[in-house]
Every structure is written in structure tokens, then in C-alpha cells.
Amino acid sequence: MKQSLLKAELSSILKNRMKLISIMAIIFIPILYSGVYLWAFWDPYGNLEKLPVAVVNEDSDAEMNNEKLELGKDLVENLKENDEFAFTFVNKKEGYQNLKNQKYYMLIEIPKDFSKNATTLLDDDPKKLDLVYVSNPGYNFISSQIGNSAMERIKESVSKEITKTYAKSVFDHIGEMADGLKNASTGAKELEQGTSKVNAGSKEVYDNLATLVEKSIEFNQGVSSANSGAKKLLNGAENLAGGLGQLQNGQQNLANASTKLQDGDQAILNGISQTNEGINTLKGSIPSLIGGTNSLKQGSDSLSENLKNWSSKSAELAEGAKQLNAGTKQLQETIQSMLPLLQGLPEDKQNELMAAIQGLVDGSASISNNTEELAQGANQLAAGGESLSSGLTELNQGHEKLQTGVNQLADGSAQLKDGSQQQVAGQKQFVAGMNKYTSEFSKATVGSKDLVGGMQSLLTGMNTLETGSNALSNGTNQLKNGSKELSQGTSSLLDGSKELSGKLTDGANDASSIHSDDKTYNMMAEPVKVSDEKLTDVPNYGTGLAPYFISLGLFVGALMLSIVFSFNEPEGIPKNGINWFLSKTVILIVVGTLQALVASFVLLEVLGIEVQSVPLFILFTIIVSMVFFSIIQFCVTLLGNPGRFLVILLLIFQLTTSAGTFPLELIPNTLQHVHAILPMSYSVAGLKAVISSGDFTFMWHNASILAIYPIVFIIGTISYFVVSFRRKYGELAVD
């Protein structure tokens, strides 16, 4: 009788020691995955006192309300008594250096102005207290997250102490406020009395302001008129300044011309004086000239008489001719020397004189030259003597006329000299007057410019005055309206001051009744107390992650079994496809159940995990194991190694979408859609219910969804075995 296929599978496992050992080891795979990890991180927050943290205190003391404030020192003392972390108190340099060298996981620095900033609450610019927290996420990210939570608690502690200090200060001042309110109440009564007087005065002010408004309107109109006149006056001053400038330029030209005229007059006077002197010299020389010509005439007359007798005496006549020639030459030289003195004579007279003298010279020369011909030309000489006598007569007459003209010229020259002297004297006075006029006129020009500047300033002032008067008019009008409102307001103020006096008295009585102590300060420092109530309790980190790692361990355990145990190769010839399927599936169910039981036992008994129901916890763990085995059996049976690769991809997606660590809402939207179709999502949710929440209805809901997966995949696996059996063993089955 042939051995059954299931017995053959079991016999193959039992006889093959390595296969048996491998399967036995695989049974412990889930607990190795889940148990070891959960054991290592079962309660990491319970060992935070071993986590090294550096504390650097740079705070300087401060003073508040005459009391010394040492918040940094107080915080250090509190941390020394705190065993939440392994606090080490070091200086700043050492702390940051060792944080960088990974000796510390984080550093807490208390700045030097920590206490000082706490005293700025009532300042115009209050400053917050900076507590520096430096972590090293690169060294360990989780430690930095733990540090953030710890810093929040330290922050709350410091805030509580600061608020307590502020509260104490506030209540201390409430007593002072009560005294102040009493004084204020007394002052309010005095205010009431003063307000009554102010009310009466405001009415009087309103009446006076009404009069002021009327006068300000008249003043404004007058200022406008004055401003218009100032503008016209400025235009006139500018025109005056321009005209004076032009007049100054013309006056300067006139002064320059008068100076040149003075120089010309002086030159004329000098020339006239020289001319007068020459004329006088000429006037004195003319009588001698006339006397010479008379003597010459007498000589020529005598010569003419004697020429008649000279015909026989040629030698004597030649000698006389020579003398005559010499005399005429001397006369010519004398006349020529006198020519500069005769410049005042008419030109025709001068020509006649010079022509006569030249004739005399020529005649005497002719006599001298023709002495040898004297005999022959005696008659001619006699005629020449007569001509000479006649010329000398005319010359004598010209000299007499010259004497008369020179006398007239001398008289006119004297008169001209006197007039020129008067002209020069007058011109000197004119130039002196022009110089003085120039000096005074410059002052006038400067004064006109100053006048323009002053008028501009006056106009500017008038504009400002006009603007101010308009503003004054508007302001007085507004003041009038405001004074009316003031009068009404003082009436209201009088009523309010009466009420204020009563309220301040009540407030002073209420403030005096307030008493405070440490309980009051603590309540102010921590007015809200948070009650940490939990719908379900998860005692430690391991319990919270157990659903995730149990699911992971069972899935990996099922996958590992496919490596040492063939999911599709039979140990004999199956009777049919169902027989072939059952021979493999029964062994998978046994191994899967053992994996679930071992994992549950270690978690419950060794790690001490607390669950809401032990039987249901074991049952649900077995269900999860069966689900994973059915999926892996289908993939590996149909595809072999590609099926194992597909299973690994399935595991990766399950780990990221099962919400075993982070909430589902924190993962990408695409992965959130994958979450609903993967079995580990429901295994984690059901284990959470049976371990922590105790919501067994929710557990059974997830179990019912998980039951769908084995049904689907088992049907698929059976179909594969039936088809494979027909292909491989169809003929044998017919036989």
C-alpha cells in the first residue's frame, strides 16, 4: 500500500536533519524579529536618566522690585535635582565642543541676559527670555525629538517661576494701589471742586473768544491790505534799485570823461602858456627887426644914390657888394631864427617876408657876383638899388603890420591863458565833486539793494502774517466752537468727577480687601492644570509598537519557510490536485500556528506585554499568521523566486502603509490609497484593539476582512495544483 503524500512530506522533514533544524529555527523567526526589537526598545523613555545632556549657565544676576533675581541659578538647581536626563553642568566652550564630538546628545544654554530680560515686563519694549536648546540630530534624531519634549517641560517650569515672581510683584503693588486709590478718591473730590470752577471759567472763555473771533476777522482784512501794499512797495524798490544801477554806470562814465577832460584842459593851458611866451618874445624882437630894415633901407637908399657914382669905382663897389651880401645873409639868418616866433602870423605874411628876404639875399649875391661886370651893369645896379630900396620899403611896411598883428596876438594869448586857467580850476572842482558824488552814489545804490532785500523780507513776513492771520481767524473760530464744547464737556466732567470720586472710594475698599500668599502666586503662575486622561492606556514604547512588529515577524517567518521547504514539489505522487494542495498546506498551517504560539508566549511571559484578552490575542495572532502564509504560498507556488521578489515588494508597501508607526494621515496621499488593500493594515489595527484598546468588535471586524485574503489565495493555490496535477500526472491518474 502506498504511503500517503502528507506522511511522505512529514517523513522527508523528519529524516532530513538540516531541513528539520531550519524549520524549527524558522518557527522562532517572528519572535526574533518582534521580540528582540521590542525587548531592546521596550521602554526607552524609562532610561532617559542615562542620556547625557550639557547645561551651560551664562546668566548674570538682575534686580526686580529691589529683590535679587537669579533665574539661571534657580534653573540649574532645579535641573540638578531632576533625574529626567544625565545633566552635566559645563562652561560654554567645553559644552559646544563635546556636543560636536558627540559626547552629549543635546545642550541647554542659559544666556547672560536671562534674568535681566525677566525684569522688562513693564518696559516699553519688554524682551522675552531666550533659552537656547542645541541638539545634534545627525548624532541621533530620536534624541533630538525627546529633547524637544523635555525643553517644553523646562520652558513650562521656568515660565511658572517667572509668572510666580510677576504675580508676587503684582499683588505687592495692589496694596500700594489701594493706598493710591484712596489718595485718588481724595483727589477726585478736589477734582470735582476744581471742575466746577473750570465749568464757570469755560463759559467766560467762550464769551471772550466770540469777541476775539470778530476782531481776528478785522485784523485779517487789515493784514491782507498791508500785504498788497507791501507787494507794490517791493516793485517800486526793485525799479528804484534798477534805475540807480543804470545811473551809477552813467555817472561812472561821466567821472572817467571828466578826468580825461581835466587832463586835456591842463595840456591846453600848458600849450597856451608856451605860445604866449613865444609871442611876447616875437613882440620884443620885431622893433629890432624894424630898426634893422630901416637902417637897411637907408643903406640901400644911400647905395642907390652912390651907385650912380660907382661906375668908376668898381673895386670899391665890389667890396661894398660883398659887405651887402654878408649883411643880407646875416639878416636872413636872423629872420630864420625868428620864424618859430612868427608862427602866429598869417601864412601869406610869412611868405611875403621870406620872399622879400630871399630876394634881398639873391640881390646882394648878384651884386657880389657881378661886381666885375659892375662897369657894364652900373645902370642895372642902380636899377637894382632902386628895386632894393623899394623892397625894403615894402618890407618895413610888412614889419609894421607884423608888429600890429603880434601885439593883437599877444593880447589875445593873454586872455586865452586866463580863460584856460579858469577852465582848469573849474574842471578840478568838477572832478572833485564827481568823485564825492560817486562815493555817495555807491552808498545810495547799496542802500537801494538793502531796501529791496528789506522789502522782500517784509513781503515774506507779510505773507506769513497773512497766512498766520488766516490761521488765527480759523483757529479762533475753532477755539470758539471748542470752547463751547469745552463748556459742555466740563459740565459732563463735573458729573463724571462726582461718579469717579465714589468709584475710587469703592475701588480702594475692594483693593484693601485683597490678600495674597504663596498659594495665590502658584495659582497665578499655573492657572491651568492639564489632566492627562487616556481613553486607552499604552504603558510603554514596546506595547505601542508590538502590533507592527508582530505582523512584520509573522510575515518574514512565512517568507523564510519558503526558502527551506518547497511549496510545490511533492515528496511522492499525489492522488489528485486537492491531495497535493493539502500535503503542503497542512505543514504550512502547523508551522504558521507554531510561529504564532511561540511569539505570543514570549511576548506574554518573557516580555510581559499586557493585553486585553490573552485567548483573543493568541487567536488573532494565529489568524494573521495564516493570512500571510496563504498569500506567500500562492505567490511562491505559482512563480517561485519571482514570487518571493513580489512578496518582498508587498512587504515594503505594507510596512509603509500599515500605520504601525506614524498615523496614516502623515504619509503621502498615494500610499494612503494603497493602505486599504493590504492585509497588514488590518492585522496592525486588530492587534492594537486586542492589546491596548479592548475594542473586540473592532478586532473581529478586522479579522473578518483578513479572512477574505486566505479564501481568495487558497482558491488560487488549489486551482494551480489541480491544473498542475492534470498536466504532470493526468495519465497516471487515469491508469
- What is the predicted pLDDT for the residue at 335? 73
Lowest mean pLDDT among 163-167, 217-221, 571-575: 163-167
Look-up: residue for cell 493590504? Answer: 678
Average the pLDDT over 344-365 and give the result. Answer: 74
| Cα(672)–Cα(676) distance, integer angstroms | 8
Same domain, 584 and 700: yes
Same domain, 579 and 675: yes
- What is the predicted pLDDT for the residue at 704? 95
Structure confidence at residue 3 as a pLDDT band (50, 70, 90): very low
**Adjacent-strand bridge partners of 56:** 109
Final residue of a structural domain among 398, 417, 436? 417
Look-up: residue for cell 492771520? Answer: 469
Nearest-5° Cα angle at 165, 159 to 166 = 85
Residue 317 sits in a domain whose CATH number is 1.20.120
Closest C-alpha to 307, from 361, 371, 362: 371
**193 part of a folded domain:** no
| Cα(502)–Cα(472) distance, integer angstroms | 42
- What is the predicted pLDDT for the residue at 601? 92
Closest C-alpha to 373, from 302, 306, 299, 317: 317
The answer to whether the CB of 209 falls within 8 A of the CB of 479 is yes
**10 part of a folded domain:** yes
Give the dihedral of Cα atoms 342, 343, 344, 347; nearest 10 deg: 100
The answer to whether the CB of 83 falls within 8 A of the CB of 48 is no
Same domain, 68 and 34: no
Residue 700 has pLDDT above 90, yes or no: yes
- What is the predicted pLDDT for the residue at 674? 85
| Cα(35)–Cα(607) distance, integer angstroms | 8
**Domain total of the chain:** 3
Q: 627-640, pLDDT tens digit by residue?
A: 999 999 999 999 98
The answer to whether the CB of 627 falls within 8 A of the CB of 708 is no
Residue 99 has pLDDT above 50, yes or no: yes
The answer to whether the CB of 95 falls within 8 A of the CB of 84 is no
> Grid coordinates representing 713?
489565495
Q: 641-694, pLDDT tens digit by residue?
A: 899 999 999 988 888 888 777 777 777 888 888 888 899 999 999 999 999 888
Distance set, CA 668 to CA 6, 224, 651, 673 (Å)? 47, 81, 18, 9
- What is the predicted pLDDT for the residue at 205? 63
- How far does CA 716 lie from the centroid of its chain? 76
Same domain, 549 and 663: yes
The answer to whether the CB of 678 falls within 8 A of the CB of 655 is no
Task: Give 165's Cβ-side CA count (13 Å radius).
Answer: 20
Highest mean pLDDT among 147-161, 484-498, 620-634: 620-634
Closest C-alpha to 265, from 413, 420, 389: 420
Distance set, CA 483 to CA 207, 217, 327, 497 (Å)? 9, 18, 130, 19
Per cent of the chain over pLDDT 70 is 63
The answer to whether the CB of 726 falls within 8 A of the CB of 644 is no
Average the pLDDT over 135-161 and give the result. Answer: 64
Sheet containing 132-135, strands listed edge to edge, beginning at the edge strand earlier in sequence:
86-89, 52-57, 106-110, 132-135
- What is the predicted pLDDT for the residue at 702? 95
DSSP 339: G
Task: Give strand ranges (E) for 71-131.
Answer: 86-89, 106-110
Q: 526-560, pLDDT tens digit by residue?
A: 565 555 555 666 777 678 888 988 998 899 888 88
Distance set, CA 45 to CA 40, 399, 542 (Å)? 12, 160, 11
The answer to whether the CB of 517 falls within 8 A of the CB of 155 is no
Residue 734 has pLDDT above 90, yes or no: no
Same domain, 132 and 36: no
Distance in angstroms between the alpha carbons of the first and the last residue of the chain: 16
Structure confidence at residue 735 as a pLDDT band (50, 70, 90): very low
Same domain, 22 and 123: no
- Taking the CB of residue 691, how many other CB atoms lie within 10 A of it? 25
Look-up: residue for cell 520652558? Answer: 155
Lowest mean pLDDT among 45-49, 123-127, 227-231, 261-265: 45-49
Helical pair 541-564 and 641-657, crossing angle rounded to 10 deg: 170
Q: Which residues contact 681 (CB under 8 A, 6 or more apart)?
A: 654, 657, 658, 659, 675
Task: Give 167's Cβ-side CA count (13 Å radius).
Answer: 19
**188 part of a folded domain:** no
Same domain, 103 and 29: no
Q: 588-602, pLDDT tens digit by residue?
A: 999 999 999 999 998
Same domain, 576 and 610: yes
- What is the predicted pLDDT for the residue at 713? 94
| Cα(628)–Cα(647) distance, integer angstroms | 10
Same domain, 666 and 695: yes
Count of residues in the chain:
735
Closest C-alpha to 181, from 402, 505, 459, 403: 505
**560 part of a folded domain:** yes
| Cα(540)–Cα(542) distance, integer angstroms | 6
Same domain, 545 and 683: yes
| Cα(713)–Cα(706) distance, integer angstroms | 12
Helical pair 17-27 and 541-564, crossing angle rounded to 10 deg: 160
**694 part of a folded domain:** yes
Question: Rounded to 5 degrees, what are φ and ψ at 36?
Answer: -65, -45
**660 part of a folded domain:** yes
Identity at 414, one-letter amino acid code: A
Highest mean pLDDT among 335-344, 476-485, 695-704: 695-704
Same domain, 12 and 135: no
Same domain, 691 and 723: yes
Domain that holds residue 323: 279-417
Residue 620 has pLDDT above 90, yes or no: yes
**334 part of a folded domain:** yes
- What is the predicted pLDDT for the residue at 410? 73
| Cα(260)–Cα(254) distance, integer angstroms | 10
Average the pLDDT over 25-38 and give the result. Answer: 73
Q: What share of the chain is helix, strand, coil (3-state, %, to 5)?
A: 80, 5, 15
Q: Which residues contact 461 (CB under 8 A, 6 or more apart)?
A: none
- What is the predicted pLDDT for the residue at 369? 78
Task: Convert 302-313 to b/e letters by CB count within 10 Å (16 or more is b).
Answer: ebbebbeebbee
Q: 189-238, pLDDT tens digit by residue?
A: 676 676 676 667 666 766 766 676 666 676 667 667 767 766 776 776 67
Lowest mean pLDDT among 277-286, 526-535, 570-579, 599-608: 526-535
Q: 393-418, pLDDT tens digit by residue?
A: 776 777 677 678 767 767 776 776 77
Per cent of the chain over pLDDT 90 is 12
- What is the predicted pLDDT for the residue at 1? 31
Q: Which residues contact 298 (CB under 8 A, 6 or more apart)?
A: none
| Cα(54)–Cα(77) distance, integer angstroms | 14
**Adjacent-strand bridge partners of 67:** 64
* Top-confidence residue, 138 or 630: 630
Final residue of a structural domain among 350, 384, 417? 417
| Cα(632)–Cα(394) distance, integer angstroms | 179
Final residue of a structural domain among 373, 392, 417? 417
Highest mean pLDDT among 27-36, 341-350, 673-682: 673-682
> Grid coordinates representing 131?
533659552
Instruction: With 0.75 as the threshold, say if the pTM is over it.
Output: no
Mean of all residue pLDDT scores within the chain? 75
DSSP 3: P
**Adjacent-strand bridge partners of 68:** 63
Give the dihedral of Cα atoms 454, 456, 462, 465; nearest 10 deg: -90
Question: Rounded to 5 degrees, what are φ and ψ at 26?
Answer: -65, -30
Average the pLDDT over 51-67 and give the result. Answer: 83
Average the pLDDT over 450-471 and give the result. Answer: 72
Maximum C-alpha span of the chain: 229
Look-up: residue for cell 513781503? Answer: 459
- What is the predicted pLDDT for the residue at 47? 62
Closest C-alpha to 212, from 419, 483, 556: 483
| Cα(338)–Cα(329) distance, integer angstroms | 14
**286 part of a folded domain:** yes
